[in-house]
Structure 1
Amino acid sequence: MTQQSNEGVQELSKLIHGVKFAMLTVQNADGHLHAHPMTTQEVEFDGDIWFIGGKDTAQVAAMRQHPQVNVSYSRPDKGVYVSVNGTAELVEDREKLDALWSDMYKAYFPEGKEDPNIQLIRISANGAEYWEGEGKVRSLIEIARGMIKGEEAHPGKNETVNL
């Protein structure tokens, strides 16, 4: 089933809220896909996903060359998996940096918010797909039931969101 913008944005916001880390997949100069963990920002999803990265990283260089990316979230304990495809934009916005900044980033940017290597990354979501089960135990029971009965398992719902 496919959901449209407003309803889909609200559902995705609910699903990814509280997920501390996401996997951001970029295409490198050789055309290979490369995923790396990024810290999820504590802002409500409104169709854009924000990250803080380093201007000198291979990931930022890849986004500069190939802005089409994918962001994946998972909460296995809740049976929730989300894949968001979108377009990366490298942004310079002091007000947004102030809103997203936490002192945890000093481990990566020793000069704090004044570090010239800081790069804001905005992912404008084009669409998403998610899978939502009833938690690990319930999903395993459904899979086992399907195996025993020789039927297709239905451990949860799968939706596509157009943004």
Structure 2
Amino acid sequence: MKEQQHDNPASPAEVADRIWELAEKIDICMLTTWTGEEQHSRPMSARPRRDENAFYFLADVSGEKNAEIERFPTVSLAWADNSNYRYVLVSGKAELSDDRTKIAELWSETDKIWWEDMDDPTIRVLKVTPERGEIWDSPNKVISGAKMLMSFVTGSAPDLGDNAEVRL
């Protein structure tokens, strides 16, 4: 498929707003780390805090991602809302801590899937400070489907929405 380039009329501030908005709505993202030889991705529940310019996660002290982050702190976060053709990618620096106050602040009932309670000593806070963000934002599924069909008929690349990148 041919790649379609878009001239996005949105300002960098509007793109940043949309990145934070979509990350909040979609919740689960793929956190990708680097082992030194290959990338390793896993799904995690994000807790975006725009006022702190950070994406937080609760992580277990025994996870292999911890050693990867200590050696190679640059990570990427990818959210996908496939039903609406909306995607977000953020890259930034990650750090782990045993900040018990932040763990208590971030704790939700769904975390009981992994830990008995917020006082579990194996819980760690994973903080990602974003540096760059990118979105692919489609108007809606029906319009995207029609554009893809028309592109197939005409042989041209479909315009499936806006793509924009911003420094965060």
TM over 0.5: yes
Residue identity in the other structure for 2:96: L
SS class of match (1:115)? coil
1:145, 1:44 → 2: CA distance?
Answer: 40
Instruction: From the superposition, tell whether residues 157 and 3 of structure 1 become closer, same or farther in structure 2 (CA, over 3 Å).
Output: same
Residue 32 of structure 1 is aligned with which of 32, 38, 42?
38
Residue 147 of structure 1 is aligned with which of 144, 148, 152?
152
- Find the counterpart in structure 2 of residue 75 from structure 1: 81
Residue 17 of structure 2 is aligned with which of 10, 22, 31?
10
Residue 53 of structure 1 is aligned with which of 51, 54, 59?
59
Does the Cα contact within 8 Å between 1:9 and 1:45 map onto a contact in 2?
A: no
Compute the displacement of 1:26 (Å): 0.5
1:126, 1:92 → 2: CA distance?
Answer: 23
- The CA RMSD measured in Å over matched residues stands at 1.8
How many pairs were matched up? Answer: 159
1:105, 1:133 → 2: CA distance?
Answer: 32
Question: TM (normalized to structure 2)?
Answer: 0.85
Gaps of at least 5 residues in structure 1 are none
Query: Are 1:96 and 2:99 an aligned pair?
Result: no
Does the Cα contact within 8 Å between 2:15 and 2:164 map onto a contact in 1?
A: no
Does the Cα contact within 8 Å between 1:21 and 1:40 map onto a contact in 2?
A: yes
- Find the counterpart in structure 2 of residue 138 from structure 1: 143
- Find the counterpart in structure 1 of residue 130 from structure 2: 125
1:3, 1:32 → 2: CA distance?
Answer: 35
Question: TM (normalized to structure 1)?
Answer: 0.88
Gaps of at least 5 residues in structure 2 are 1-7
1:9, 1:55 → 2: CA distance?
Answer: 31
Compute the displacement of 1:95 (Å): 2.3
SS class of match (2:33)? strand
1:37, 1:60 → 2: CA distance?
Answer: 15
2:119, 2:147 → 1: CA distance?
Answer: 52
SS class of match (2:50)? coil
Compute the displacement of 1:36 (Å): 0.2
1:20, 1:162 → 2: CA distance?
Answer: 21
- Find the counterpart in structure 2 of residue 87 from structure 1: 93
SS class of match (1:113)? coil
Compute the displacement of 1:44 (Å): 4.2
Instruction: From the superposition, tell whether residues 100 and 87 of structure 1 become closer, same or farther in structure 2 (CA, over 3 Å).
Output: same
Instruction: From the superposition, tell whether residues 3 and 90 of structure 1 become closer, same or farther in structure 2 (CA, over 3 Å).
Output: farther
